Amino acid sequence: MPESGIAHTPPKILAPAGSRDAFLAALAAGADAVYCGLKSFSARMEADNFAMEELAGLTQLAHQKGAEVYVTMNTLLKEHELERALSQIQKLAKVVKPDAIIFADPAIPVLARAAGFKGELHLSTLSNVSFTQGFEEAVATTGAKRIVLPREYNIEEIRAAAQAAPEGVDLEVFIHGALCYGVSGRCYWSSYMGGKSGLRGRCVQPCRRLYRQGHKNERFFSCQDLSLDTLVKVLLDIPEVTTWKIEGRKKGPHYVYYATMAYKMLRDEGKDPQAKKTALGLLEMALGRPGTHYNFLPHRPYNPVDTKTQTGSGLMIARLQGSFKAPWITPREGLLPGDLLRIGYEDEKGHLIRRVKGSVPKKGKFHIQTGKERIPEKGSPVFLIDRREEGLRKAIAALDKEARAFEVQEVAPSSAKLPFVKRHKAGKKTRSTTLYLFREDRHGPKNTEKATWVSEKSVPKTRKGGVGNRWWWLDPAIWPSQEKEYGALVRRLVNFGAKHFVLGAPWQIAFFPEEKRKGLSIWAGPFCNIANSLAIQALKERGVTGALASPELSSEDFRDLAKASPLPTGVVVAGYYPLTIARTLTPSLNPHEAFASPKGEESWVSKYGENHWLYPNWRVDITSKASELKSWGYSLFVHMHEPIPKGVKLKKRPGEWNWNIRLL
């Protein structure tokens, strides 16, 4: 029973599984639910993930043990992938029968209905439902039964979210695991540097690297792990928070087992001092990064980046000694047969992985096997990143035997049909519109239209401001502390005659009462991450009148989207697009000075409201492709301008992003 005295069902412990052994470890630890991905459409494509038949047997085992299974399909879907995604959902519905699908793309609920999926739909944190006024709109658009809250929320924002949750909709909160520096669904860093999109589960984690600014060479953006540990007791008196989520689908079974056991103990025996001490010990041995409470306590927020602390995953147990021909270590903890070691940081080239074959006592000597690879320098950190202790191995083996005994239905070809979407056809007289988007009140070249970001500074206080002849853009991440102000600004604009708006997230249409949406031009902006016609159709049904394509797309993806879209389409053709948007900034980083990547790529930071925008010092530029884009059906062309700090030198680069690259 929570401290408030209100009895309700204890929150579920939701454990990650990126491999078969991790799934079984979650069950061995007594997880209430397990989330995992298939071989495609998962936001952790670097994990091993599961084949359909394999997951079917594991799901039957989980259900027998009283645990639920959630399947992640939380990536951005491209137009040509819709049929394959539909087939996958129908096979899930018939063969696996998971309890829920975790999704971000508005197309997934449409496909789930077409496939006959009967489980729940859970809205991923990647969908960026960052403000509470958007909850009802998100549920109305998608039919979601659960909203996964942003990691950036503090406890007061979680409480506000609980009060705003629509009836029948519950909340899921991250309690432990890796933190991304950027806001989920608002990071394009990995994609910008070569087509491996975080929104597609392919992030190469550029935020983990060393960056240079002046004389400092630091990991300015490499976050510690979130670890609420004993603070989770505060969540027990919020009945709408039905699920505590542990992040870590790229982690091994040891991490899954220990983290799950620890939080079960903190949930069920949190008032027992000895149990709390034991749980903290389990978390310390879970082999994650150093932990932080992050923003959870608003009166004691922690910056998740500590440049004075290592943020390599795993438990640091030694530094490399000896020569490159005969390296060795003296571990601070005893090593067991099967332990997995990493020499060096995972974001650095040349790090090595080595398996321990026999027991090594604490402060004993362990010789590192050499091979053709280059051995890291003497003094390099050595991390214990996975452990296969005998008890856990036996528990996994026993569960594995049970899982293999289940009969799995043969996966038959899909018979579901894609829902029909009536394509928008531009008339012969349809003219294209060119927008110049500024932070300040400026005009673009002749024959172009004016666009401005919504802010207290930019929105006039009287009708004399002339708001009706420009497009008003909403921020890509609006937080609970800002939503009242944003709502008031939007109402003022509508009352003053503004007609054109661009949403930073689909759910921001909640700022426009349904009875006032008629007569307005409301576009889904580029930060809505739209890449397929079904997503646009879902937004059209809520009053959206046009859609700007995700700027991450390749030329083929741009073409396919416009040719299938049920609404007019637009595209960002030039300007400064952020690498990522974050709610925090490392104190040691000067936001007015450029910083450089290991390859010499320079960037800078600008702060707007509560968000920090990281920009590269070169522009997106596909203006030379305008004739092709027009021929495919695009009618809105956006140039995004940004004030450049004095110390930043701009670089001439092609700026075509993924135009000629197949987006992974």
pLDDT at 552 over 90: yes
Domain shared by 382 and 461, yes or no: no
Output the domain CATH number for residue 537.
3.20.20.60
Domain shared by 544 and 398, yes or no: no
Average pLDDT over residues 438-457: 90
Domain shared by 492 and 348, yes or no: no
Say if CB 504 and CB 527 are below 8 A apart. yes
pLDDT at 1 over 80: no
**Which residue type sits at 385?**
I
pLDDT at 480 over 70: yes
Tens of pLDDT, residues 585-606: 999 999 889 999 888 889 999 9
DSSP structure string for 33-74: EEEEEBSSS-S-TTS--B-HHHHHHHHHHHHHTT-EEEEEE-
Residue 611 covered by a domain: no
Tens of pLDDT, residues 32-91: 999 999 877 765 555 556 889 999 999 999 999 999 999 999 999 999 999 999 999 999
pLDDT on residue 201:
87
Domain shared by 56 and 154, yes or no: yes
Residue 195 covered by a domain: no
pLDDT on residue 375:
85
Residue 209 covered by a domain: no
Domain shared by 484 and 362, yes or no: no
Say if CB 621 and CB 655 are below 8 A apart. yes
pLDDT on residue 407:
84
Tens of pLDDT, residues 499-511: 999 999 999 999 9
Structural domain ending residue among the three candidates 386, 413, 447 = 386
Tens of pLDDT, residues 294-303: 999 999 989 9
Output the domain CATH number for residue 126.
3.20.20.70
Average pLDDT over residues 281-308: 89
pLDDT at 11 over 70: yes
Residues 566 and 542: their CA atoms lie apart, in Å, by 13
Residue 362 covered by a domain: yes
Report the candidate in 638, 619, 622, 583 with the shortest Cα–Cα distance to residue 453: 638
How many folded domains does the chain comprise?
3
Residue 64 covered by a domain: yes
pLDDT band at residue 623 using 50, 70 and 90 as cut-offs: very high
Domain shared by 399 and 495, yes or no: no
Domain shared by 439 and 529, yes or no: yes
pLDDT on residue 428:
63
Mean pLDDT across the chain: 92
Residues 367 and 407: their CA atoms lie apart, in Å, by 46
pLDDT on residue 23:
97
Domain shared by 336 and 457, yes or no: no
Residue 495 covered by a domain: yes
Domain shared by 242 and 375, yes or no: no
pLDDT band at residue 5 using 50, 70 and 90 as cut-offs: very low
Domain shared by 396 and 506, yes or no: no
CA angle 303, 308, 309 (to 5 degrees): 80
Tens of pLDDT, residues 351-409: 899 999 999 999 999 999 888 888 888 999 999 988 888 899 999 999 999 999 998 87
pLDDT on residue 4:
44
pLDDT on residue 345:
84
The torsion angles phi and psi of 79, rounded to 5 degrees, stand at: -55, -45
CA-based R_g, the chain, Å: 25
Residues 529 and 477: their CA atoms lie apart, in Å, by 13
Average pLDDT over residues 514-521: 90
Residue 532 covered by a domain: yes
Domain shared by 371 and 441, yes or no: no
pLDDT at 109 over 90: yes
Output the domain CATH number for residue 328.
2.40.30.10
Tokens standing for 4? 């408030």
Residue 3 covered by a domain: no
User: What is the DSSP secondary structure assignment for residue 440, as one 8-state letter?
Assistant: S
What's the domain range around 323? 315-386
Residues 578 and 603: their CA atoms lie apart, in Å, by 10
Average pLDDT over residues 168-190: 96
pLDDT at 255 over 90: yes
Domain shared by 274 and 347, yes or no: no
pLDDT on residue 47:
54
